[in-house]
Structure 1
Amino acid sequence: MNDNPPPAPAAQPRRTPHAATLVLATALLAGGATGLAPAQATAPTDTLITVAQDGSGDHTTVQAAIDAVPENNTTETTISVAPGTYRELVHIPSDKPHIRLTGTGDSPADVTIVYDNSAGTATPEGGTYGTSGSATFMADADDFRASNLTIANDFDEIAHADQEGHQAVALRTRADRVVLDTVVVTGDQDTLLLDSASQDVQGRVHITDSTIQGNVDFIFGRATAVITDSVIEVTQRPDGTSAGYVTAPSTAPQFPGFLITDSTITGDVADDTYYLGRPWHAGGNASLDPQTTIRDTELGAAVRDTPWTDMSGFSWRDDRFAEYHNTGPGSGPASDDRPHLTDEQAAAAEPADWLGDWTP
């Protein structure tokens, strides 16, 4: 506290102008008939776009709001989404950075973006979507932030039992400096794909105060991701059985992979039925060096005593899998089947070490 005069009020986010407003503004800036001098240039201000299904906002769908964001945007654009269930596919292309998507409800459950494509779902053009293309929400632009909403894939595996390709992604990120804060990401197989633009480009993701639900490889990809203060919930398979894998990293050797810290891994499933992870060498690429580190986290009884396993002919022992100071009934002492970081190694395995020069 001090006795200095209070600062001037901060500029409020501007809303997307209607066409008539743009025409009038153009005329005023032109001078001439109005007799007014052209306005001096001012610094760009943040933009607010609203979405509401009842028509009370700027748009009725999330994708329409994203389409309204200019390409190569240089200022933060907030897309504020009113409560409702939005059954649509959403894509933020790589040339639309600085988007912040936020639900205005009392909890993430109040705003849900959901669809039901799977890897084997037929596309209108012929062929199938594939795993990556099945995502309900695709965030391919840098500096994307989402908060206070749910992103889901509700593909029905039982109804499509004869279909190949049951992977069904809820959220795919393929960008750098992505923040997910107080979100729920839910599905069954391959729920959350944390990726990057290419193997040689780092995509950093920070997830906090969130819930991630699934059963098979449901946190996967090559991104550098920190998941903290969150709940990772393993769920039963659609047929009621308990079996699965929490993570399937496909990390390039020059980057860190997944760091789960100060979180909880739990679920209403049978004891000793879920692996913490397995190495995904995407496309059979032996040069990858998948990494998952889980530390200072409570592990429920669902976690197996031997928490890591092989995948597609690649041994987890040849890659980077470790724990440190975990607790709960699913935790266990260090062994050949359960590597633990030393204190010295753990000191270099903090969120800041993963995220480098970026502070979310």
Structure 2
Amino acid sequence: MKLLALALACLAMSAQAQRPQLTPEQAAAHTTAAYLGDWKPAPLADLSAASPDFIVKPGESVQAAIDKVPANGNKRWVIHIQPGTYRGPLCIKDKAPLALIGSPRDAAAVVLVDNRFAGKPKGENEAAHPCIPELGKTTIGTSGSTTMLVQSNDVQLISLTIANDTMDGVRLGETYPPGAGESGGAQAVALTLSGDRIQLDNVRLLGHQDTLFAKRAAPDKPARQLIRHSLIAGDVDFIFGNAVLVIEHSTILTRANRRTPGHGGIMLAPSTAPDVTQGFLVTHSRIVGEPGIAPGGTSIGRAWDAGVKAGTWIAGTSPNGVAVVRDSEIGAHVGPWSASTSRRPFDAATNRLNEFNNSRP
């Protein structure tokens, strides 16, 4: 009996080491209010309160409406997108405060979608994306694969779906497109946020690898991004970047059937600068998996050591991702934190990836 008790205690200690928990005092620094700082999110644009500035109907161009918004101003411009599917890359860059609103009753009724992926070939003089030239390269690249790129501050995305469906066929048994596979090239971003004071509410973000890229426009630029009452779905590193990102009262869904059975997914991949103490915060949310994912088969996350080759990570100099998952329901499909992208093993003493007060459904 003593040996059994000792073995169980060792297992518990091992699990604790791989899933470290904050103390209440430590958790007090990782709240929505602390992450947003002096930003008090503006009320969401409301179609019932005022007429939109532009209305986009099926068959029309969402980008054309975005292009009509001026570069600056005090008022918030509102674009209402009517129910339908709108295909093609979208660029919101250097615009006045802007809101894109879909169908308040059903976020699935308006779908903004494209099917670009990192390994997709392109000409050296061909832009990778309307927002990202990437000239001189011969593939789209991860950044260029994004369906929508928001490179403006004070943007609201409300009641709509943003998707990258390029790997949907693989889930159904089709082969990967040329230039993509499990070993690389399959990164296909649905939404890139590269700005400050960005709000998403009742939005569905659908992809596989690298669904949501939450980043700073520059290392010294603020990037506070708030996602509420939304769904984020993917399989590998599908929430990644170096922004200050809060996901609140939302659902994070790990998707199955794209990768070879036994190859688990990874949810969070923060790339926080070493001198920054706030990264990704998931709070009061549900973390669920599709049928077919083995218990513990999905890593809760790993540090994205952006730009760091294996074996060259330096404490205090290299990125060291911050992520806290707290006050949330975490399904049995979720396992421990993983080694970083530069292959440094997870170590609670050096990694900044933690949990607080989570529960099983």
TM-score (norm 2): 0.73
What is the aligned residue count?
Answer: 280
Residue 140 of structure 2 aligns with which residue? 129
Residue 6 of structure 1 aligns with which residue? none
Structure whose alpha-carbon radius of gyration is higher: 1
- Any residues of structure 2 matched to 1:22-61 within 5 Å, and which? 48-53=53-58, 60-61=60-61
Per-residue CA deviations over 1:48-80 (Å, capped at 9, x if unaligned) read 1111125xxxxx111011001112243200110
Say which of 328, 334, 344 aligns to 1:303: 334
Moved over 6 A (4+): none
CA shift, 1:200, in A, is 1.8
What SS class does the counterpart of residue 64 from structure 2 fall into?
A: helix
* Contact kept? 1:299, 1:327, Cα under 8 Å: yes
CA distance in 1, matches of 2:151, 2:104: 25
Is the alpha carbon distance of 1:225 and 1:239 closer, same or farther for their aligned partners in structure 2, counting shifts above 3 Å?
closer
CA distance in 1, matches of 2:188, 2:257: 13
- Any residues of structure 2 matched to 1:252-331 within 5 Å, and which? 252=273, 253-268=275-290, 269-284=293-308, 286=314, 287=317, 288-304=319-335, 306-317=336-347, 318-328=350-360
TM-score (norm 1): 0.74
Residue 176 of structure 2 aligns with which residue? 160
* Contact kept? 1:264, 1:297, Cα under 8 Å: yes
- Any residues of structure 2 matched to 1:72-83 within 5 Å, and which? 72-83=72-83
CA distance in 2, matches of 1:226, 1:116: 27
AA aligned opposite 1:319: N
What SS class does the counterpart of residue 63 from structure 1 fall into?
A: helix
* Contact kept? 2:121, 2:179, Cα under 8 Å: no
CA shift, 1:237, in A, is 4.0
AA aligned opposite 1:228: E
What SS class does the counterpart of residue 283 from structure 1 fall into?
A: coil
The percentage of aligned residue pairs carrying the same residue is 38
AA aligned opposite 1:244: G
CA shift, 1:239, in A, is 4.2
Residue 101 of structure 2 aligns with which residue? 102
RMSD of aligned Cα (Å): 2.0
Per-residue CA deviations over 1:188-241 (Å, capped at 9, x if unaligned) read 000000001112222110000000000000000000011010000001141463
* Contact kept? 1:279, 1:315, Cα under 8 Å: no
* Contact kept? 1:145, 1:180, Cα under 8 Å: yes
Q: Which moved more, 1:255-264 or 1:231-240?
A: 231-240
CA shift, 1:255, in A, is 4.3
* Contact kept? 2:69, 2:96, Cα under 8 Å: no
Per-residue CA deviations over 1:140-166 (Å, capped at 9, x if unaligned) read 100011010000001135443541411
* Contact kept? 1:181, 1:210, Cα under 8 Å: yes
CA distance in 1, matches of 2:227, 2:119: 29
CA distance in 1, matches of 2:206, 2:260: 17
CA distance in 1, matches of 2:68, 2:117: 28
CA distance in 1, matches of 2:50, 2:249: 30
Q: Which moved more, 1:224-233 or 1:263-272?
A: 263-272
CA distance in 2, matches of 1:152, 1:326: 29
CA shift, 1:88, in A, is 1.4
CA distance in 2, matches of 1:162, 1:67: 33
- Any residues of structure 2 matched to 1:113-262 within 5 Å, and which? 113-124=112-123, 125=126, 127-156=138-167, 157=170, 158-164=174-180, 165-239=185-259, 241=261, 243-252=264-273, 253-262=275-284
CA distance in 1, matches of 2:260, 2:249: 28
* Contact kept? 1:83, 1:105, Cα under 8 Å: no
What SS class does the counterpart of residue 307 from structure 2 fall into?
A: helix
Return 5+ residue gaps in structure 2 as ranges.
1-48, 127-136
Is the alpha carbon distance of 1:239 and 1:314 closer, same or farther for their aligned partners in structure 2, counting shifts above 3 Å?
closer
Return 5+ residue gaps in structure 1 as ranges.
1-11, 15-46, 55-59, 330-360
